[in-house]
Amino acid sequence: MSSQDYGEGKRYGPSAFGDDLRRFVSLTYTLASTDFKLTYFGSFLGYFWSLMRPLLFFGVLYFVFTDIFHVGTNVPNYSVELLLGIILWTFFLQSTVGSVQSMLSREGLLRKMRFPRLVVPLAITLTSLFQLTTNLIPIFALALIRGINPTWAWFELIPVVALLAILASGIGMLLSVLYVRARDIAPIWDVTSQLLFYASPIIYPVFYYNHHTTSYYGKDCAFNSESDTYLNILTGKTCGASNVPVGNNLHLHFIGHFLMTNPIAAVIAQARHALVGGHEGVNPSAAFALGGWEYALIPVGIILVVFAVGVVVFHHEAPRISENL
């Protein structure tokens, strides 16, 4: 190991990144894998329990949306889509919520050791990423059971998950360091993440909507009125005899596009597109749902901006985390 010769001109105190990249990586990995090991092997049936939560959530939602509201019946492979959405959301939620109080839970380390502060929230994201990887097993299993053939497109999941991880770590950095200053970040993020959950196509399928199609969920289908629209989205009812042209629903049109600029929505849409494959009217790629690949730059841009803001704010706050805690 190289000696840590803190140069005369260099900043001496604690910082976000430290001055040794290898130590940064090794420490992040060690903390993350230790946490992962503890959740999986630390308790009786550890893996089972950590998988049980998203699966139970999936079971309840699947029952509600296929047997009570009939979304599932009209969307091909609704079960796979729902499970994929829930698992990806679980990853995002786990890593951001875990980051909020991460500094407090690592207080002992922060007050006694000099190490790159950024390791703390990044280790949380990495732990969640490990869990996501193990949670993908039931998804692939379900996809194969449902008769979806593996395609090269499945590899698209890697960059898609990477984008989600970048978003989650950016938000994680921001939350972890803001929590040191304001303790009500915890309930604030609780509410915000709830909103994000409903704003993202997790329990409902991705619909697309653009000028070239007259309908969604199949041709010759339109809405009676705006109030019907949401019901239609949720229930996936095939639209019957109504003849109101789609052009009258510009409001919905806008909302549809607007919702897709939400990076989580875009990520989930793209992940579903990759895993299940696009069908007529359903499971469009994120770019298609947004109305063109150039619009797909919006969610990607949001992800990168959030990450950059996270890095800048974290870097600014890092030297004083241990004394502000």
Partner 1 sequence: MPAVTIQGASKAFKLHHRQYHTLKERALHPFQARTYDLLQAVDNVSVDIAQGEFFGIIGRNGSGKSTLLKCLAGIYDIDAGKMHVRGRLSPFIELGVGFNLDLTARDNVILNAIVLGLTRKEAKARFDSIIAFAELEDFLDMRLKNYSSGMSVRLAFSVAIQVDADVLLIDEVLAVGDASFQQKCFDEFQRLKKEGRTILFVTHDMGAIQRFCDRALLLEKGRVVAIGDPADVAHRYNALNFGRTVHELSDDRSDDDRRTDYRDADITDAWFEDAAGARIASIPHREAIAVGVQVRFNAALDDPSFGVTIRNNAGATVFATTTEWSYGPTGHFAAGELVTVRVRLENWFTPASYTVTPSIARIGMGSDTIDLRADLATIIVHGGRFTTGVVDLPHEFEIQRG
Q: Which residues of the shown chain bind partner 1 in the complex (CB under 8 A)?
A: 1, 3-6, 8, 11-14, 22-23, 26-27, 30, 34, 37-38, 42, 108-115, 182-185, 188, 319-320, 322-323
Find the Cα–Cα–Cα–Cα dihedral 168, 172, 173, 176, rounded to 10°: 180
Which of 39/224 has CB closer to partner 1? 39
Nearest distance, CB of residue 42 and partner 1, angstroms: 5
Side-chain half-sphere CA neighbours of 230 within 13 A: 5
Strand partners, 279: 282
Which of 118/185 has CB closer to partner 1? 185
Nearest distance, CB of residue 29 and partner 1, angstroms: 9
Which of 128/322 has CB closer to partner 1? 322
Q: How many CB atoms lie within 10 A of CB 283?
A: 24
Question: Cα 197 vs. chain centroid, distance in angstroms?
Answer: 9
Which of 68/182 has CB closer to partner 1? 182
Read off the amino acid at residue 36.
Answer: F
Which of 37/219 has CB closer to partner 1? 37
Nearest distance, CB of residue 126 and partner 1, angstroms: 15
3-state secondary structure of 163: helix
Nearest distance, CB of residue 19 and partner 1, angstroms: 10
Nearest distance, CB of residue 7 and partner 1, angstroms: 8
Q: Quick one: angle between helices 185-199 and 78-100, nearest 10?
A: 160
Which of 14/284 has CB closer to partner 1? 14
Nearest distance, CB of residue 23 and partner 1, angstroms: 6
Quick one: DSSP state of residue 13?
S
Nearest distance, CB of residue 192 and partner 1, angstroms: 13
Which of 184/294 has CB closer to partner 1? 184
Nearest distance, CB of residue 259 and partner 1, angstroms: 27
Cα–Cα nearest to 262, from 202, 304, 199: 199
The answer to whether the CB of 126 falls within 8 A of the CB of 32 is: yes
Determine the Cα–Cα distance for residues 46 and 39; give it in Å rounded to an integer.
6
Question: Cα 304 vs. chain centroid, distance in angstroms?
Answer: 14
Which of 289/318 has CB closer to partner 1? 318
Determine the Cα–Cα distance for residues 268 and 64; give it in Å rounded to an integer.
21
The angle formed by the CA atoms of residues 221, 222 and 225, to the nearest 5 degrees, is: 155
Determine the Cα–Cα distance for residues 223 and 238; give it in Å rounded to an integer.
10
